[in-house]
Structure 1
Amino acid sequence: MDLAKRLIDEAAQAGAHAAKFQSYKAGKIASRNSPAYWDTSKEPTESQYKLFQKYDGFGEAEYKELARHCDAAGVDFLSTPFDLDAVDFLDPLMPVFKIASADITNVPLIRKCAGTGKPLIMSTGASTLPEIEFAVKTATEAGAESISLLHCVLNYPTPVEHSQLGMIRVLKRVFPECAIGYSDHVVPDKTISSLEAALLLGASILEKHFTHDKTLPGNDHYHAMDRTDLVNFNAKASLYKQMVSKEGKSLSYEAAARLHARRSIVAAREITTGEVITEDMLIAKRPAHGISPVFWDDVIGQKATVDIGEDDLLQWNMISPTSATVRS
């Protein structure tokens, strides 16, 4: 419990918005014949059942205590339920339910979570688009009104070349009614490039394993982020949010460039009063203080109403239509 609270505090201090745990009992999540699917050189336990047995000591009272600690630390408490009983005791503690990738086909669990009326976040690791569509349909029919989907690759760890972050765009296109995010298992570099890329691709929810010591044994520590990683990532995320603050563009920041770096129609030689202007008399030069070159064809064929010196910027009061131009 002390370590769990420490992890909450470190995550909160580093800028996390939520601290998410997992609520399971070995006997309800895996049969005794359940092979490992992780890197056994990092976590040597050969059975899922035996691994879960090591870490399933928390019950309802402990999760309530963690929820209180999250509240005091200023972050949301979340815990992924892995059985129906967990949904019941977690419901009053959380603002949203998270469904793990491995349970995207678990119809009774999806229905139970959706039936609470709370928003759902579903990870999509190891899933096909039809399976994801089925899960969304199941949740919607069971009462879920707000569903978010997290792209995920269910490898621990996920090699960089297997991260397939382009799937974020696919999910945004196929499920426009859902918020799209990313659950990451790539071994972090200095600023967690995988999360940076996901953010720039439009992920609005980011999830990653968190530890206080990456060298600890187990299935998660070696590919988790720590407090330093999260601080570094949040600094980059803040920078990116400033760069990509909104769609559209304000030209107010470029007013000087529009005025001084764009071009005007300029006399390439002296033009005397009454001369009809031809193309060889003109050149486009900076600054944009005169007639814009977008009116190039309109200026050609006009008559000079004053003497125009070489390199003078043409203004509309220097020219007037010829009789031929008026007739046309």
Structure 2
Amino acid sequence: MKNNTWKGKHGPLLIAEIGGNHEGDFEYALALTRLAIDSDVDYVKFQIYSGDTLVSRLESPQRNKHFKKFELSREQYIQLAELCEAKGVKFMASVWNIDYVPWIDEFSDVYKIGSGDLTAYPVLKGFAELGKPLILSTGLSTLEEVIDAVRFIQDANARYKDPDYLAVLQCTSMYPIPFSDANLAVMASFREALGLPIGYSDHTEGMQALITSYAMGAEILEFHFTDSRENKEFRDHKVSLTKDEVLEMILEIRKIQDLKGDPLKRPLEVEGDHVISFRRAVYPSADLKKGTVLTEENLTVLRPNHGIDARDFYKLIGKRLKEDVKEHQKLNWDYIE
């Protein structure tokens, strides 16, 4: 894992979040997993929970009932993880009950902490004690709360001061959100405040926010995944990408990589003599006699860069000519006293 935790096969780490899009239907979960695998992502991600270990039956009975409807069994999650492993794609989950870790841990080299658990310090402590790389999502949160959560994780286990072990995602936890609520600029604030790898967990419609976030430095892109958004009532489908859209996004990522290029600045204009023809040299701006004192008024700079480079213009001022020269004649240092 060292030094490669957040590097994906296409550059950014791509996480296809099936989450609850299976709506408790295991056969549908299998079908979505196969599609996600075929979309060439790095991780296929689920959410592992039970209603009774997530939501109070007394305080929020309807939410408790909702999450129960979306439950899959331990054996079914293991089968999904084994399917990913068999196809050479990694499995990831937001495990919302630390007690489930022992039976899913062998398939998990990274854990995701969902936005709702950013302030659940007992949950954070449990995952920090595992010592595996963590991705922390930050919907619902202020910058101060994110900083506090990161510090809590790092205090619980100093390993998480290593950027290979902890990354932070900008996220806005509504479904869907307008572009104006994506706030991708927050990623730069996270990088400055935390010194950790940053990424983006998307709840907009389409792929524009994801592509833009990568161009702005996101190292991790998480997005909901579905087979189709048509005739779906569950909200997450609306903000999900399909297999074809993910493959299209990967092509857009490659374009951005091409545009970013190499950070080493060097001339790439190799055709013809561009460096000569586009740059200027010093030329007389009139016919000048031998002995003339060179001034800013009787010199000019013109293309091409033949003779004395324009950067030496001011070195010539005050010097005398050793021979006659014509207007626009190429100069060389032999002509100068």
TM over 0.5: yes
Superposed CA offset, 1:241-299 (max 9, x none): 11113434222446843321111111112223333223322111111222222222211
Matched letter for residue 141 of structure 1: D
| Structure 1 residue ranges (4+ consecutive) displaced by more than 6 angstroms after TM superposition | none
The verdict on how the C-alpha distance between 1:234 and 1:26 changes in structure 2, with shifts beyond 3 A counting, is same
**1:210 & 1:311 partners in 2: Cα distance?**
66
Matched letter for residue 217 of structure 1: E
The alignment status of 1:195 with 2:210, answered yes or no, reads yes
**2:305 & 2:77 partners in 1: Cα distance?**
67
Matched letter for residue 173 of structure 2: L
TM-score (norm 2): 0.85
Aligned to 2:225: 210
**2:62 & 2:329 partners in 1: Cα distance?**
84
Task: Map residues 160-309 of structure 1 onto 2, 5 A cutoff.
Answer: 160-176=179-195, 178-188=196-206, 192-215=207-230, 216-253=232-269, 256-309=273-326
Say whether the 8 Å CA contact 1:5–1:66 is kept in structure 2: yes
Aligned to 2:83: 69
Aligned to 1:43: none
Say whether the 8 Å CA contact 2:111–2:133 is kept in structure 1: yes
Structure 2: tracts of 5 or more residues without a match: 1-25
- Counterpart secondary structure, 2:116: helix
Give the C-alpha shift of residue 71 in structure 1: 1.7
Say whether the 8 Å CA contact 1:8–1:73 is kept in structure 2: no
Deviates more, 1:20-29 or 1:256-265: 256-265
Aligned to 1:23: 48
Deviates more, 1:211-220 or 1:22-31: 211-220
The verdict on how the C-alpha distance between 1:179 and 1:275 changes in structure 2, with shifts beyond 3 A counting, is same
**Higher gyration radius (CA):** 1
Superposed CA offset, 1:108-159 (max 9, x none): 1111111111011000101112211221122112224321000000111112
- Counterpart secondary structure, 2:328: coil
Superposed CA offset, 1:15-70 (max 9, x none): 311100010001111123566xxxxxxxxxx93222211110232x2222212211
Task: Map residues 80-159 of structure 1 onto 2, 5 A cutoff.
Answer: 80-143=94-157, 144-145=159-160, 146-159=165-178
TM-score (norm 1): 0.87
- Counterpart secondary structure, 1:283: strand
Superposed CA offset, 1:208-235 (max 9, x none): 1000011222131111111121112111
- Counterpart secondary structure, 2:199: strand
Say whether the 8 Å CA contact 2:138–2:170 is kept in structure 1: yes
- Counterpart secondary structure, 2:94: strand
User: What is the aligned-residue RMSD (CA, Å)?
Assistant: 1.9
Say whether the 8 Å CA contact 1:267–1:283 is kept in structure 2: yes
**1:64 & 1:261 partners in 2: Cα distance?**
64
**1:302 & 1:254 partners in 2: Cα distance?**
36
Matched letter for residue 88 of structure 1: P
Matched letter for residue 280 of structure 1: E
Number of paired residues? 305
Structure 1: tracts of 5 or more residues without a match: 36-45, 321-328
Matched letter for residue 51 of structure 1: H
Identity %: 29
**2:326 & 2:59 partners in 1: Cα distance?**
90
Matched letter for residue 62 of structure 2: S
**1:73 & 1:4 partners in 2: Cα distance?**
16
Say whether the 8 Å CA contact 2:229–2:240 is kept in structure 1: yes
